[in-house]
Structure 1
Amino acid sequence: MKRERWIGLVVISVAVALIIVDSTIVNVAIPAVVDDIGITSTEVQWVQESYTLVFAAFLLLFGALADRYGRRLVMVLGIAVFAASSIAAALADSGSALILARLVQGLGGAAILPTTLSLINANFQGRERGIAFAVWGSTIGGMAAVGPLLGGWLTTDFSWRWAFGINVPLGVLIIIGVLLFVPESRAEHDRPIDWVGALISVVASGSIVFGLIEGRTYGWWTVEQAPAVGDWTWPWELSPIPIAFAVGILFVAIFVVRARIRHRAGRPVLLTPDLFGIRSFRNGNIAAAIVSLGEFGIILALPLWLQNALGYTALQTGWVLVALAGGSFLASGLASALISRFSALTSVRAGIIAEILGLALIGLVIAVDTPWWAICGGLFVYGFGVGLATAQLTNVVLHDVPVARSGEASGTQSTSRQLGSALGVAILGTLLFTSLELDLGQRLEGTPGADQVVAAVVDSAGAAIPGIEAQSAAAADAARESLSSATSHVAYAAAGFLGLGLLATLGLGAARREADAAEPAEAREAGAPAE
């Protein structure tokens, strides 16, 4: 029985890998998609971001559904939806068909992630629980790096369609493994689902994530690029972004007030307020959101820099990023020894410090002539930190949550991370392109056609540099220098956010040893201490 639990953990981790790889693999495949089916720049953006938008919006709902109807059941259904929509994506012959498939993929992903967390929370206790979360977290860190490598290989040697098609056989194998080795788990009570609360949460999360993702494109206040759907174009000078934020904040307020009123009346709610009376859950979610501002921020900028400043291919870029995966998997291998000696919270803090150090090393060595091994060293240290911090922070957040409410809590924790990640991407993306624009403008000041060169480099995220070199080698060299400088700034900024996240972990209290803090599953099923 014990061996089956660990095999089940491997299957659960592969399920996480499925959705993490898909979120990174698409970025590498996009140029081939454009060449093959001729999608527009607007469609390119939505192919990449529609998945994230739906994924973040539905995490809370699927967490609650998992508690009510069975965590394994919801996970299997999510994998099935994900695989089926991957077939549709692989066969898409237009931008609209591909976007629709990606939206459905987001639904499948939202059903998978919180259920993997809640199943681990239900099936492992004590020191084993910390090891299980380490394996889960290292899988996330490793697959975020392996995704571009896999995408580059499939796109280069086969077709971009296999970047989606690979999900189908993997999905079938995962479903078989889940049914064989992962026991079903659900709450003992049959609490009805708060469907109105679910709708409010979808609107709130979706609006905020939309604003964070699209702010740089459409304009944070006034329209810089008018959104268009078919023949309809946004007609106002005011950008849709502040409206999206206003709607999101309003619906968050409605959600909170409504949940408090219904909870006091003894009526079902999607997220019960008393969960936030658990100190580790409340403060842990705050810390997780802040840490997510910095985590994976470098993955946004590094591929652009490696390919457009150093001239690497997509496959070569993927190989460089494998160093991150190596560090993350090493952390997973050392998890047992670390957790037996130190607390989960100590591992979190050590991991964040390693991430900060890795990002600082990367920021220091970035230049137009940086050798690949210099970047790999910083990425390895960073990946090691991700393997420690990501998993054990989740462990800390869910430690005192009753097993009966694992899905609800896991959906909340996943949503916090997604909102933090979206905010981090928005801030770091804005920093990258603003820094690139200002630095290149200064380097080319007084040069004929400087404004056009700057606009071309910024709008293409550096992809226009080879074309510029054919006309002016000096301008192309300046663009590479500026892109290198901007990428270095992003690395330092991401490290700064992680520093804030490290400070936020102080609110989690004194570290304690996981083995000493272990308690019987029956006790955790019954309830959790509130403060």
Structure 2
Amino acid sequence: MTDLSRRRWAGLVFISVAVSLIIVDSTIVNVAIPAIVDDLGISSTEVQWVQEAYTLVFAALLLVFGSIADRVGRKRMLLIGVVIFAASSILAALSTSGGLLIAARFVQGVGGAMILPTTLSLINATFRGRERGIAFAVWGSTIGGMAAVGPLLGGWLTTAFSWHWAFGINIPLGILIFVGVMLTVAESRGTDTRRTDGVGAALSVITMAALVFGLIEGRNYGWWTTDGSIELAGVTWPWELSPVPIALAVAVLGVAAFIAWGLQRRRRGRSTLLSFDLFRIPSFRNGNIAATIVSLGEFGVILALPLWLQFVLGFDALQTGLVLLALAIGSFFASGVAGAASGKVAPVWVVRAGLIAEIIGIGGLGFVITPDVNWVLLLPFLFVYGLGVGLATAQLTGVVLADVPVAEGGQASGTQSTARQVGAALGIAVLGTILFTSTSAALTASLDDQGVPAAQRDQVVSSVVDSAGGAIAGLRQNPDTARIADAAAQAFSDGTRYATWAAAGFLMVGLAATASLGSGGAGRAQGRAAETGEDASASPAPAGLSGPTVKE
């Protein structure tokens, strides 16, 4: 093996670790959220925004930075992203309020959006043929491994030290990645010199921000009229009409403006963030709908489970990480199953089998969620759910892109990644709203049945919901409120159950959306691979990767 070859493979290691930085951060934060609630006293809405701020910015900027990286240099963009991610992790680790933590998460989203598309671009530009397939397999396996390590690492750091280290761990990792990429990764650029669609990028950010704001804040501000006095950024809301329907209207108008603007640019021969012509392909159009819905169901429920495990069952962060490890093990195990089925079973059937497993796992989990459940009963359902996630996500991209022309594979791949991120953002917003709204309704009804005075009832409900369940422990410690604590634990369990069933419902819709994808994707992919001389197992190039140039 030559020095150049060794350098390329060493570079792949650091590129994969860069992606792991994003995955580890997400899984660590999920486990650390209850400790953050206890320490900072953040509300349930802020809990959603701690999760949502990162995903929202990440989804909105993914295509933008992928396109810019093709022009300014992918290695350069990756390094900038790592620096931003590590610097914002310092801000997150030192946060003393929910507002500062949410702001740090917004900045982390910017760094993450720079990292992910450039890692794919660099792999695509550096490797060819069979080597590219091996490189993408290494890249994907690293993500799977880190998904398993993340909850354990987060639980250990939070329990043994504090939640601050859940973010602080990103700093040494960032330094390692920066030095490694500098020494081993070659710079590369694309050949498309057209200017990035700045207006389209702005419209996508506005649309996503308005949509997620409306979904998260509806239960606080009122879905149509204001629910009491409202302050936004220190300014009192002057109208009876809630800002929520206004935000949702802005989202609808934003979508329409984004499409109209993109079609106009396409007619003028200019670049667009999304290739609208691709949506004329049924498998691509319906596949992206399926990917969005599947991501909505998969990622949204991750918000509820760590909160329920710690605030209702009384687990610490490390114990929570150990329980959730069953999900990660199932997902990691699925990679072997998918590999064994490769070439024998059409990818779309692997996707469907994965979705069915997800529905069984997450739906069954809802049936066993109670305030006094034995945690052992959770493990088989989490494993099956994780197995389904691994099967579905491993093959869905290839199925969606099966009918896409080879020359347009890059932009199609970027579009499909964005669809997944949009689904993840909506999942946290929608299922988080279901969790807290149903918890509030169930607890209100239970306290009414106990004859609790209205003023005390409203105070208890507000404290439990606003603390995302964190107030339950305090209620348990006081003998006078022990019955109220039991009612709160039951209500929060009910809310978690409804969130899991809603996730299962979304996954069923996603399964139905795969009906139009057909089953011939594997054959078509292999045929095109033979024509182009590429490895069929290699992922399509991300946006703007046709004809890359590599600089040593």
Change (3 A) 1:92 1:368: closer
Q: Which of 51, 55, 59 pairs up with 1:52?
A: 55
2:218 is the counterpart of 1:215 = yes
1:472 maps to what in 2?
481
Q: 2:465 corresponds to which letter in structure 1?
A: V
Note if contact 1:59-1:110 (Cα within 8 Å) is conserved in structure 2.
yes
2:230 is the counterpart of 1:206 = no
2:355 maps to what in 1?
352
2:550 maps to what in 1?
none
Note if contact 2:402-2:521 (Cα within 8 Å) is conserved in structure 1.
no
CA offsets per residue over residues 261-310 of structure 1, 9 Å max, x none? Answer: 22112233333322334444322211101111211333222222212221
Q: 2:66 corresponds to which letter in structure 1?
A: G
1:425 maps to what in 2?
428
Per-residue deviation at 1:9? Answer: 5.3
Per-residue deviation at 1:25? Answer: 2.8
1:484 maps to what in 2?
493
2:367 maps to what in 1?
364
User: What secondary structure sits across from 1:238 in the alignment?
Assistant: coil
Q: How does 1:175-190 map to 2 (within 5 A)?
A: 175-178=178-181, 184-190=187-193
1:265 maps to what in 2?
268
1:516 maps to what in 2?
526
User: What secondary structure sits across from 2:194 in the alignment?
Assistant: coil
2:466 maps to what in 1?
459
143-152 or 109-118, larger mean C-alpha shift: 143-152
Note if contact 2:48-2:428 (Cα within 8 Å) is conserved in structure 1.
no
Change (3 A) 1:268 1:305: closer
User: What secondary structure sits across from 2:69 in the alignment?
Assistant: helix
Change (3 A) 1:465 1:161: closer
Note if contact 1:28-1:314 (Cα within 8 Å) is conserved in structure 2.
yes
CA offsets per residue over residues 338-394 of structure 1, 9 Å max, x none? Answer: 223233323222211211121133123222332222111111111111112123212
Per-residue deviation at 1:35? Answer: 6.6
User: What secondary structure sits across from 1:340 in the alignment?
Assistant: coil
Q: Give the alignment's TM-score, normalised by structure 2.
A: 0.83
2:537 maps to what in 1?
none
- What is the alpha-carbon distance in structure 2 between the residues aligned to residue 527 and residue 115 of structure 1? 10
- % identity of equivalent residues: 62
For structure 1, the residue ranges without an aligned partner over 5 or more in a row are none
Q: How does 1:488-507 map to 2 (within 5 A)?
A: 488-507=497-516
User: What secondary structure sits across from 2:449 in the alignment?
Assistant: coil
- What is the alpha-carbon distance in structure 2 between the residues aligned to residue 37 and residue 492 of structure 1? 30
For structure 2, the residue ranges without an aligned partner over 5 or more in a row are 535-539, 547-552
2:331 is the counterpart of 1:328 = yes
Q: How does 1:94-493 map to 2 (within 5 A)?
A: 97-119=100-122, 143=146, 146-178=149-181, 184-224=187-227, 228=231, 231-398=234-401, 408-449=411-452, 451-452=457-458, 453-469=460-476, 470=478, 471-493=480-502
- What is the alpha-carbon distance in structure 2 between the residues aligned to residue 4 and residue 227 of structure 1? 57
- What is the alpha-carbon distance in structure 1 between the residues aligned to residue 232 and residue 391 of structure 2? 43
Change (3 A) 1:171 1:418: same
Note if contact 1:118-1:410 (Cα within 8 Å) is conserved in structure 2.
no
CA offsets per residue over residues 462-519 of structure 1, 9 Å max, x none? Answer: 3222332322333322332333333223222211211111111122222443673451
Change (3 A) 1:503 1:236: same
Change (3 A) 1:161 1:382: same
Matched residues, number:
528
Query: Aligned-pair RMSD on alpha carbons?
Result: 3.5
Q: 1:507 corresponds to which letter in structure 2?
A: S
User: What secondary structure sits across from 1:415 in the alignment?
Assistant: helix
CA offsets per residue over residues 298-331 of structure 1, 9 Å max, x none? Answer: 3222222212221111221111001111111112
Change (3 A) 1:289 1:7: farther
Change (3 A) 1:160 1:87: same
Q: Give the alignment's TM-score, normalised by structure 1.
A: 0.86
- What is the alpha-carbon distance in structure 2 between the residues aligned to residue 183 and residue 347 of structure 1? 36
Per-residue deviation at 1:85? Answer: 1.9
Q: Which of 5, 17, 20 pairs up with 1:14?
A: 17
Q: How does 1:69-88 map to 2 (within 5 A)?
A: 69-88=72-91
